[in-house]
Amino acid sequence: MFDSKAFDLINRLPPELDQTELVKRILERKRGAGNDRLITEEDVRSLLPKGILEPIGTILPETHEPAGEPEVIFDPTQAISPTDASEGYKGLFRDRYQRLLAIVRSRPDMRGVTGTGEARNLKQGQRAKVAGLLSSRINRRGSMELVLDDPAGTLRVVCQDDVVVKAALELPLDCLVVVDVLRSKAGQAYANSITMPDIADRRPTVASHESFVVLLSDLHVGSKMFLVEDFQRFILWLNGRLGDETLVNKIRYIVVAGDLVDGVGVYPGQELQLGDKEPKHQYHASAQLLEQIPKHIQVIVSPGNHDAVRQALPQPAVSVDLAESLYGLENVRWVGNPAYVRLDGVMFLVYHGRSLDDVIATTPNLSYRRPTDAMRLLLRSRHLAPTYGKRTALAPELRDMLVVDPVPEVFHCGHVHTIDVSSYRGTLLINSGTWQAQTNFQANMGLEPTPSIVPIVNLSTLEVVRRNFGAEGFVNS
């Protein structure tokens, strides 16, 4: 039996908190205290995570430097302008080809790159570097055939050398490639080597002073599997209540790479694992969490495939009418997916990572355990979702907003629920994991999440430290 205040308090709890389990724990405690079965407000509050209902309040000193204003270099929200599917996709792939070809031709070793039309006119023994979008890859006995497309037509190229065949197997379909072609006596074009657009090896730009950014993704607020107690522990830490002051005092930014909420109807049977089936309520619950972040920390939020926006890439920011509470927070800013954001002079490419599913499924030796390997392949192809017709939907836009240009200092993804950090040619690659425990859907897919572990980037060095806010308690790592 509940008294009236306890009943009201239970009804105000976030949907992610298991009320049945909470009541069970209260009753177990009361069994040791005689026959008292009345549940009071004090009983409920004694077992709630700190700050679950009220703002925590920071105890950080007021002498910290405020964050600089995040500079949004590119946000697709206002640029999205879908057109007729047929003309739109033609325009999309034509723009992709032209922009990637310009990137390739800017490389000193790629001068003289030609197209399929010129390659078809090669004489016996002549060679040429031919650029085209990889439309198909066919295994033949002892060889592999590639088909390249460009506005002038197609070219079939045979790969026989083992090194070239291995390189061909790593190519995402529909990406731009440059093939060093030799015309044989019989008129067949053979591949001597294959090159992707790639990024140049360089020294990254860093901040002139020490400041830190926390990278998050895949909170999935609204899911029964959202680890609300872990996230509250993270909030306590941000407010200086778990020590670690030297680091915490220098955090200026938080970037969320999609799936702030769990959404509705994203996968079969999802409704059975939702604590709240109304997207507006899920965003309101998110706002109740994010409003507890100290106001001197700037928060940038991008959508993912669970958010209430269109599924096709690029995605606009979540609309005000769905996330009004979040738009009302003075230190929270929405952007679309993908987005380029500069923080203290350091360029971030923020992308949720839906296409990582396609890359991992179609490329040898890639797995969900090391998502930055797949992210590296996207950088090498200079495109965030090169393959058309798989799990990742692409909108028929006349401009391909998924071409990776410019090259970022930090490439931040989520989606696969596995934390991973590496670097490639001066770019820091980070997949920021999740705040959701394993769902039945993930178990059936063989996905094992690594939740509640936070990567934190020092903007003056691009070094990364981690903090674990899991059930075992606060851990420095």
- Is 210 domain-assigned? yes
Report which listed range, 28-32, 50-54, 363-367, is most confident: 363-367
pLDDT mean over 428-445: 89
pLDDT at position 477, please?
44
Which of residues 150, 168, 195 is at a domain's end? 195
Three-state DSSP string of 189-246: EEEEEEECCCCCCCCCCCCCCCCEEEEECCCCECECCECHHHHHHHHHHHCCCCCCHH
pLDDT mean over 442-468: 92
| Domain containing residue 387: CATH number | 3.60.21.50
User: Is the same domain home to 237 and 384?
Assistant: yes
Which of residues 172, 195, 218 is at a domain's end? 195
If one compares 53 and 386, the residue with the highest pLDDT of the two is 386
Domain range enclosing 148 = 108-195
- Is 178 domain-assigned? yes
Q: Which tens digits make up the pLDDT trace of 212-260? A: 999 999 999 999 999 999 999 999 999 998 889 999 999 999 999 999 9
pLDDT at position 296, please?
94
- Band of residue 210 on the pLDDT scale cut at 50, 70, 90: very high
User: Is the same domain home to 236 and 313?
Assistant: yes
- Is 220 domain-assigned? yes
Q: What percent of the chain has pLDDT over 70?
A: 88
pLDDT mean over 396-421: 97
Mean pLDDT, the chain, integer? 89
pLDDT greater than 50 at residue 476: no
Q: Which tens digits make up the pLDDT trace of 97-148? A: 999 999 999 999 898 899 999 988 898 989 999 999 999 999 888 789 999 9
Q: How many domains does the chain have?
A: 3
pLDDT at position 12, please?
59
User: Is the same domain home to 75 and 182?
Assistant: no
pLDDT greater than 90 at residue 276: no
Three-state DSSP string of the chain: CECHHHHHHHHCCCCCCCHHHHHHHHHHHHHCCCCCCCECHHHHHHCCCCCCCCCCCCCCCCCCCCCCCCEEEECCCCCCCCCCHHHHHHHHHHHHHHHHHHHHHCCHHHCCCECHHHHHCCCCCCEEEEEEEEEEEEEECCEEEEEEEECCEEEEEEECCHHHHHHHHCCCCCCEEEEEEEECCCCCEEEEEEECCCCCCCCCCCCCCCCEEEEECCCCECECCECHHHHHHHHHHHCCCCCCHHHHCCEEEEEEECCCECCCCCCCCHHHHECCCCHHHHHHHHHHHHCCCCCCCEEEEECCCCCCCCCCECECCCCCCCCHHHHCCCCEEECCECEEEEECCEEEEECCCCCHHHHHHHCCCCCCCCHHHHHHHHHHHCECCCCCCCCCCECCCCCCCCECCCCCCEEEECCCCCEEEEEECCEEEEEECECECCCHHHHHHCCCCCECEEEEEECCCCCEEEEECCCCCCEEC
- Is 54 domain-assigned? no
Least confident stretch, 33-42, 292-301, 382-391? 33-42
- Is 103 domain-assigned? no
User: Is the same domain home to 350 and 469?
Assistant: yes
Hey, what are 182's tokens?
A: 């030799």
pLDDT at position 275, please?
85
User: Is the same domain home to 176 and 205?
Assistant: no
User: Is the same domain home to 186 and 208?
Assistant: no
pLDDT greater than 60 at residue 55: no
pLDDT at position 57, please?
64
| Domain containing residue 154: CATH number | 2.40.50.140
CA gap 436, 453 in Å, rounded: 11
pLDDT greater than 90 at residue 23: no
- Is 152 domain-assigned? yes
Which of residues 169, 195, 221 is at a domain's end? 195
Q: What percent of the chain has pLDDT over 90?
A: 71
pLDDT mean over 43-65: 62
User: Is the same domain home to 300 and 412?
Assistant: yes
pLDDT greater than 70 at residue 53: no
pLDDT mean over 183-189: 86
User: Is the same domain home to 240 and 191?
Assistant: no
User: Is the same domain home to 348 and 452?
Assistant: yes
pLDDT mean over 405-432: 97
User: Is the same domain home to 164 and 276?
Assistant: no
Least confident stretch, 64-73, 85-94, 240-249, 310-319? 64-73
If one compares 283 and 23, the residue with the highest pLDDT of the two is 283
pLDDT at position 448, please?
86
If one compares 348 and 45, the residue with the highest pLDDT of the two is 348
CA gap 170, 361 in Å, rounded: 11
- Is 91 domain-assigned? no
- Band of residue 443 on the pLDDT scale cut at 50, 70, 90: confident
- Is 98 domain-assigned? no
User: Is the same domain home to 321 and 413?
Assistant: yes
Least confident stretch, 90-99, 151-160, 178-187, 205-214? 178-187
User: Is the same domain home to 174 and 213?
Assistant: no
Q: Which tens digits make up the pLDDT trace of 328-376? A: 999 999 999 999 999 999 999 999 999 999 999 999 999 999 999 999 9
Least confident stretch, 57-61, 221-225, 414-418? 57-61
